[in-house]
Each structure stands twice: as C-alpha cells, then as structure tokens.
C-alpha cells in the first residue's frame, strides 16, 4: 500500500507539472494574441493592380507580396473615401469622415495649404490615442494631411502629436507636383480657369470707372477709385507671391513640432523615411509599439532614388512602386532582426485607388493601375475605393488566405484597439468592425452588411452584402461625368467632382451586382433583375437609418478652413528669407543615392 501511495503521488506530481505547463503555454498564447506590436503601412494613390499579389506580372513587389504569402489578402478592401484627407481621417478614427466634419461640401475635398485652419478635430478619438493610453510607443513617419494649426502658426491643434503620436517625422500636408521643380503645377490650370473671369471683370470695371470719370459722365470719388485699385493690386500681389513661393511655404519636412527642411528635398527621401521607421523599431524593441509608415509614394510628384530609377518596366511610376517595396522589405527585415515578426501585426494598404488622370507634361503616365476596376481616385467606382489590404501576423492569422468579403480601412481602428485591450469609445458611432474573427478563420462573413460611399459630403453610392446571399449589390445615386466622354476619368479637370454640372443624377439609381459584374459595366434593370425595386427599397431603408445616425458638426473643409492664412504660415526662418532651412541633409543613407 505504501509503495502504491508513493507511485500515485509521483503520478500526481507529473500530472500537476503538465497542467502548470499547459496553463503557462495557454497564458503565453493568450498574451501573444494581445498587445502585439502594430505596423501600419499606407501607400498614397497606389492602384490595386500595381502589386504582384493582386495580379500584376510586370512590376516587381516581392516584399509586399511576401505579406500576402505569409498572411491574409483582402480582395474587397474598401477605402472609406476616394480622396486622401477624408480617407485618412476615417482610417484613424474608424468613422465615416462625414461624422468628424472631414468631408467637404465645396468642390475641394482635401487640404491644400500648410496654413489652413481646418483639420482633424481634437474631439475625435484616434486609435493612436487609445494605444498610447495602453502604454504603446507611437510614431507617424511620412504623410499626415489632416491639418496642423488653428489660430496661430504654432498652436499645433491638428498636428500628429496632438492626436496620440509620440513622434512625428514627415509632411503635414502632402506631396504636390509643385513641390518638385520641373514637375509642373497641380494648381496652375485650376487657378487660370478660376481667375480669368474675375480678372476680366475687375479690369473692365476699373477701366470703365476711369473712363466715365475722365469724360465727366459720372463723378467717382478719387479716394474710392484709389482704394479699389489698391485692394486689387494687393490681392494680386499676395496671390502671385503665394504661388511663386508655393514650394517654400507648403513643402517642408518636420520632426515633431520643428521644421527641419524647408523646402522639402527629394534627395534620399524614401531612405530617410525608412531609416526613421527602422530606428523607431530599434528603440522600442522591448515594449509594444505602434508605427504608422505613411509613404509619399506614389502620389505625384514622382521620385525614385538612383538604385531604382529607370529599372522598372513602367517608367518613373514603376520605379517609385519598386522603391516603396524595397522599403517594406527593410521594415520586415528589421522585425526579423529583433525577433519581433511573431509579435507584430503588419498591415499594408493604400489611402485610395490610383489617380488615373495623372499624366506628366511630357505625356508619361504618372498614375497607377486599378486592374479590372472602373475609374480611380476621386470616384466611388471600384477603381477609386477598392484598395490593397494585406495583413500578416505569423502564428495568429491564416497564411496565404484570401478573403473576398467586404472590409473597410475603418476596420483597423476596432481591430487594433481590441488587440491592445483598450476600450472602444461608447459615446460615438464606430463604423469599423473587428477583423480578427475573419483573419483567424473563426467566421466567414463580414459584419459589413452595408457600406456607404461618399463623394466629399454627398452620399454617392451604397454597397449591400445580404447575409443569405453571395451577391454584393451596389447602387449609385449619381455618377461623375467623365471627360472626354468615353474615357475612364475626368482628364479635363484632373479629378472628378461631386455636384452640379460635374455629375449625372440617377432616378432610379444605377444598380450593379459586383459578384457578377465587378467591372461595373452593365447596370441592372427591372427587366434583367426581378428583385430590382426590392433591392432599392432595402438599400433606401439602410440609407435612412444611416442618415439618422449623423449629427451636425463643424465643417473642417469649408472655404474658410481651406484658404491660406498668412498668420498660420509655418516658417523655419522668415518670409523675407523665403522660409529656408535644411537640418536634415545626410547625403548617402543605407547605401542608396537619390536623383
């Protein structure tokens, strides 16, 4: 009996040891599946058809393709807006941009000037703020495009550091053609079209007043005439000064709150951004971190370094894509170096589809390829909003899987907030949904039954994916008028607009089934779709419910908030010195030289 007792006690010890080990393993797994590092890689104006993992056979993107091989490819990943500013606002907040006032009622739907007063409101809760509260180190490297100042040139009310980022290195606005000498101007054609009539009216009015004054038909007070001439002259002088100095005033590089290069230099720019990102990872390898690497590629002005220039089969645009892919590879190698690959969720996307109207002054195509999809940037045709969506987290999410369910860039907000074990805000509507059940294969259906597609502040289209059907219905209430008429974009105006004579209203709305017609070639009719009116009725009910959830908020993209305000102008020296400084030139970085 005594020996039997000893034998049982020994067995119990072994069993207890195994239980403790299993609990430790489960605890490790649970901990590993929460509080991961997060790296969010966002391209600018990249077409879904530009990547090998989405079918491109001529551009070389092995590092981005590696994310697809080792993770999940979302084939119906939708940007919340087809323009930079509202899309990025939605990405950071998990909410349609109309909810935060980041959707314009005017023609211009993005911020154009560093000295504008609009921006992402301080009341908005970004995923960065929530992760920072959970102890994450946070950094934004690259493009911001969500405003900077409100009332003075250094209040930084809209700056990245005011929205939860600990560290910022990049541009507060965006990369314009005007930022790079010899690349033309994004504004010139628009300014010429806008100003030609006012200039003619002002000129004719002043000359007429002077003539009637001279011949004595009408007595115009000399002082009033002088004031008119003075105001007109000053207005034109300010306008000429601004556009002549646009590059110095709007194209600059910041580190945190300090301007370190004004105007921006493209020398080694991708290498500098990549080095900053790698250094941030190195500094925070022992604690959870959130890194948003927001590339300037492939928004114009296009640029590429010497090691990539002229190497692709698609001109400077292809060179830029391949250089960005190199940068992604550097980031992935950095994770491997610090044994962080299995502890890091990596996400790659674009803020919207390719800008198909981008043609250089020499006729070279500077816009990307949206694959089979119609339209591009600034439109809610699939080419404007269907973007790459790649997620990798070895050992946690499926490798090599494809998910064809509707997902949104707004989904990143709840996904990473829950992974960081932070609380989702309960005082506002969050439009995104947690992606982890889909990514881990626990569910097969997206929670997005409806997605609402806005053109600026105007509801343009709605997508409906019924729970009991494979169909993805999409209705358009209006569509942009392409110019030339049978083209695939608005080449005459460089981008498509959202109201007035720039669009065609549809009553009844256009209806497509994307599961059968992803190219949106043939609208359905009551004759070709027996449920035509029933589908429209269900979608209209969803629109009514969605509209009731909206509340009036200040318009951050009103003309008052968009216009250049001299007193908000950031300048690292003085206006009289053309706002010039350069504290960031480092010559060769990482062995790559730029041209």
**Is 289:138 a contact under the CB 8 Å cutoff?**
yes
263 preceded by a cis bond (ω within 30 of 0): yes
Looking at the chain, how many residues does it have?
595
Three-state secondary structure of 147-211:
CCCCCCCCCCCCCHHHHCCCEEEEECCCCCHHHCCCCCCCCHHHHHHHHHHHHHHHHHHHHHHHH
Q: Quick one: DSSP state of residue 260?
A: E
**Residue 411: φ, ψ to 5°:** -70, -20
- Show Cβ contacts of residue 45 under 8 Å, excluding neighbours closer than 6 positions: 84, 298, 299, 300, 350, 351, 352, 353, 354, 355, 358, 367, 368, 377
- The single residue listed with the structure tokens 């919340």 is 80
> Burial level of 105, CB count in 10 A (0-12/13-18/19+)?
middle
- CA–CA separation, 249 and 571 (whole Å): 7
For 568, other C-beta atoms within 10 Å of its C-beta total: 19
Three-state secondary structure of 568-583:
HCCCCCCHHHCCCEEC
- CA–CA separation, 164 and 187 (whole Å): 33
> What are the distances in angstroms from CA 293 to CA 121, 268, 296, 365?
22, 16, 10, 26
CA-angle at 181, arms to 495 and 351, nearest 5°: 40
- Show Cβ contacts of residue 528 under 8 Å, excluding neighbours closer than 6 positions: none
**Is 504:532 a contact under the CB 8 Å cutoff?**
no
Residue 153 structure tokens: 């040139």
**Is 60:328 a contact under the CB 8 Å cutoff?**
no
Q: Quick one: DSSP state of residue 510?
A: E
Residue 170 structure tokens: 């990049």
For residue 349, the cross-strand partners are 42, 389
Strands, DSSP E only, in 488-568? 503-513
**Is 42:346 a contact under the CB 8 Å cutoff?**
no
- The single residue listed with the structure tokens 């392409």 is 482
Catalytically annotated residues = 84, 145
- CA–CA separation, 450 and 81 (whole Å): 15
Residue 309 structure tokens: 């220039």
């Amino acid at each position: 009996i005594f020996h039997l007792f000893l034998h049982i006690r020994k067995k119990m010890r072994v069993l207890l040891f195994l239980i403790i080990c299993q609990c430790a393993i489960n605890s490790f797994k649970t901990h590993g599946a929460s509080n991961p590092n997060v790296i969010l890689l966002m391209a600018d104006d990249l077409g879904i058809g530009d990547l090998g993992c989405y079918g491109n056979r001529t551009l070389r993107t092995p590092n981005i393709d590696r994310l697809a091989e080792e993770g999940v490819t979302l084939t119906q990943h939708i940007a919340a807006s087809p323009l930079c500013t509202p899309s990025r606002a939605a990405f950071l907040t998990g909410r349609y941009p109309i909810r935060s006032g980041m959707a314009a009622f005017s023609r211009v739907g993005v911020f154009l000037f560093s000295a504008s007063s609009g921006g992402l409101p301080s009341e908005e809760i970004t995923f960065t703020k929530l992760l920072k509260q959970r102890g994450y180190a946070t950094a934004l490297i690259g493009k911001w495009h969500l405003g900077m100042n409100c009332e003075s040139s250094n209040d930084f009310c809209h700056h990245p550091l005011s929205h939860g980022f600990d560290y910022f290195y990049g541009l507060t606005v965006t990369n314009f053609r005007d930022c790079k000498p010899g690349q033309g101007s994004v504004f010139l054609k628009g300014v010429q079209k806008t100003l030609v009539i006012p200039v003619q009216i002002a000129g004719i009015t002043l000359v007429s007043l002077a003539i009637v004054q001279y011949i004595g038909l009408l007595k115009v007070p000399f002082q009033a005439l002088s004031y008119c001439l003075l105001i007109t002259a000053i207005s034109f002088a300010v306008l000429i000064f601004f556009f002549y100095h646009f590059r110095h005033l709007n194209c600059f590089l910041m580190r945190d709150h300090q301007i370190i290069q004004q105007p921006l230099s493209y020398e080694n720019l991708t290498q500098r951004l990549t080095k900053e990102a790698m250094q941030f990872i190195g500094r925070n390898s022992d604690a959870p971190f959130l890194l948003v690497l927001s590339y300037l590629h492939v928004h114009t002005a296009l640029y590429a370094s010497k090691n990539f220039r002229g190497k692709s089969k698609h001109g400077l645009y292809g060179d830029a894509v391949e250089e960005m892919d190199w940068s992604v590879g550097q980031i992935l190698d950095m994770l491997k170096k610090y044994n962080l690959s299995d502890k890091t969720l990596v996400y790659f996307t674009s803020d919207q589809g390719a800008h198909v109207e981008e043609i250089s002054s020499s006729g070279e195509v500077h816009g990307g390829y949206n694959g089979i999809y119609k339209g591009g940037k600034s439109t809610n045709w699939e080419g404007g909003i269907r973007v790459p969506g790649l997620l990798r987290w070895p050992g946690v999410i499926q490798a090599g899987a494809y998910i064809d369910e509707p997902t949104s860039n707004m989904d990143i907000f709840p996904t990473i907030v829950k992974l960081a074990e932070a609380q989702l805000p309960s005082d506002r509507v969050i439009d995104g949904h947690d992606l982890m059940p889909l990514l881990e294969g626990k569910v097969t259906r997206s929670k997005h039954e409806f997605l609402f597609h806005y053109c600026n502040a105007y509801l343009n289209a709605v997508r409906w994916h019924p729970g009991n059907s494979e169909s993805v219905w999409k209705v358009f209430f209006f569509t942009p008028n392409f110019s030339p008429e049978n083209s695939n974009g608005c080449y005459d105006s460089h981008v498509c607009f959202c109201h007035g004579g720039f669009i065609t209203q549809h009553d009844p709305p256009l209806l497509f089934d994307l599961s059968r017609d992803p190219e949106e070639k043939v609208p359905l009719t009551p004759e070709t779709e027996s449920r035509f009116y029933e589908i429209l009725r269900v979608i209209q009910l969803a629109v009514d419910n969605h509209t009731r959830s909206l509340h009036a908020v200040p318009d951050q993209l009103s003309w008052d908030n968009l216009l250049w305000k001299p007193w908000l102008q950031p300048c690292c020296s003085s206006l009289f010195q053309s706002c010039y400084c350069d504290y960031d030139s480092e010559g060769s970085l990482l062995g790559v030289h730029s041209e």
